A and B are shown apart, each in its own frame.
Chain A
């Protein structure tokens, strides 16, 4: 068994066979135990964890951190982790793949609950922070279809449980979910939606793909796997969900009611504010007979969600920007979504205006909307290593000469440092471009002497390997 993985179970089996999975049969409480363990794994590294004894939920298993590092992500995507960004970007550049195959009978519909039988307390929902109450669904991928086109957007969004059959979620202005939501509002219609939990790793990662407007993220599943995605029609709306998912919550969003929600431990690392948000009313819950819940830590980075989002943004940004700026060699998202990003250009690319051109293309594209700090370096550095970027900032950058400020940019709705522009609007932010490349003439003379670094020798390498082993 190997790539591609069509279900979460296939993925778990493979991780187990590679020594990348730990099974835990000790009872875990839902408040803090699981979230704190997940944070430790993200901070220090570690395997995916499958819990088999979860407080109050007999028969359930719960998985987390199956995609927290690039090594596991690369296995899931069928690429080499040493050339992750380029290989993944190459796959994405092929565009949407073959259409999905609709099946009549699906594992995700082995158990069906409708009407009064719907009970979301059945889900083993970890509470991420000390005072989170009621819990959030943090790994639910919500599907919502544009009312006027075939576009189906999918996104992981926070879902705050409100009752056994309802929750509310945040639609940020300027996001695709927000755009579709607004269209239903303008038409005065309820918005049908389905939430999928526990899916194969490619589908899970695609939920974080910053696709273009009108582009369905799921259409890239077959581009990556080479096979069509198997889907099944939901029972109470017209959306199609992965047939091999663990859990599906079908429902509709009442756009006229607002429910008090928050605060939530959001990805920029602070609790968000409180909001009045629309209510998702479940019309059906379907699942496997022995379902596996997937937990995704949310809060201050690093966490699994940050790492997935980082990889997706690196590859898509590389794919798009390199078409306009062929000198682009690498992209690294360093922090929070893509707030802080580094780009490498090929060493010795001294086309006048290149850095500014690159920065303007990167920032001008929809993928660059969230960038607040952009470090442009040369590819003699590993830009995925913050220490190397700090070195370039120290030794190649002069503030008076090498900084560019772009003011009055639309920012991230959840950025705690950015002022809100009001209801239905985003926030206002600024973007700094740091030119950390070696200076062009007449400032280049010190750089012609070269960097001061010893040459690796076979004996030194052998000694290093011996000492570390």
Chain B
């Protein structure tokens, strides 16, 4: 069998890319609001936040958390640039 990816899995990945890209573009404003907290991003928006664990943010998101495509992320205080 030729190796491939199923359309469903690919769609899921593309949705994850969208959420991550949205985070990348908005990280500075997100940082100013949520620094030190965990956030849940679903469909390119922050749907919940929580602390001290990612599980707290997931619980706060309730049904807005999609286990396949949501992004659960600890908002950093500092973003380094090695070069």
Contacts and interface: CB of A to CB of B under 8 A. Distances in A.
Interface of A: 55-60, 119, 121-122, 124, 130-131, 133-134, 161-164, 170-173, 178, 181-182, 185, 258-260, 262-263, 271, 273-277, 287, 289-291, 413, 420, 423-424
A259 B81 CA distance: 10
A420 B81 CA distance: 11
A464 B54 CA distance: 49
Most A-side CB within 10 Å, residue of B12, B19, B79, B82: B82
Interface of B: 1-6, 8-10, 12-14, 16-17, 19-21, 23-24, 27, 54, 70-74, 76, 78-83
A162 B76 contact: no
Contact of B20 (A162, A290, A423): A162
B79 A133 contact: no
Given A130-B54, A274-B79, A163 B72 contact: no
A173 B83 contact: yes
Given A171-B82, A424-B83, A122 B4 contact: yes
A119 B10 contact: yes
B73 to A, nearest CB: 7
Contact of A263 (B13, B70, B71, B74): B74
Given A56-B6, A275-B82, A413-B82, 16 more contacts: A57-B5, A57-B6, A59-B4, A131-B54, A133-B72, A163-B17, A173-B82, A181-B83, A182-B83, A260-B79, A263-B74, A271-B74, A274-B80, A277-B82, A290-B1, A290-B2
Contact of B17 (A162, A273, A291): A162
Given A162-B20, A263-B76, A59 B83 contact: no
Which 3 residue pairs spanning A and B have beta carbons closest together? Answer: A56-B9, A59-B3, A59-B1
Given A121-B14, A133-B16, A178 B1 contact: no
Given A121-B9, A260-B24, A273 B78 contact: yes
Contacts of A290: 1-3
A260 B13 contact: no
Most A-side CB within 10 Å, residue of B2, B27, B80: B80
21 contacts: A57-B9, A59-B2, A60-B3, A121-B9, A121-B10, A121-B13, A121-B14, A122-B5, A131-B72, A131-B73, A133-B72, A134-B20, A171-B82, A178-B83, A273-B76, A273-B78, A277-B82, A289-B3, A290-B3, A420-B80, A424-B83
Contacts of B4: 57-59, 122
Given A133-B16, A173-B82, A274 B2 contact: no
Nearest to B58: A131
Contacts, number: 111
Nearest to B24: A260
Nearest to B20: A134
A58 B10 CA distance: 12
Contact of A58 (B6, B20, B54): B6
A133 B24 CA distance: 12
A57 B6 CA distance: 6
Given A121-B9, A130-B54, A133-B71, A58 B1 contact: yes
Contact of B3 (A58, A178, A182): A58
A425 to B, nearest CB: 9
Contacts of B74: 263, 271
Given A131-B73, A273-B76, A56 B83 contact: no
B17 to A, nearest CB: 6
A423 B72 contact: no
Given A131-B54, A133-B72, A119 B79 contact: no
Nearest to B73: A131
A171 B83 CA distance: 8
Given A56-B9, A289-B3, A172 B82 contact: yes
Contacts of A260: 23-24, 27, 79
Most B-side CB within 10 Å, residue of A161, A172, A271, A275: A275
A427 to B, nearest CB: 11
A56 B17 CA distance: 17
B77 to A, nearest CB: 9
Nearest to B72: A131
B81 A275 contact: yes
B10 to A, nearest CB: 5
Nearest to A271: B74
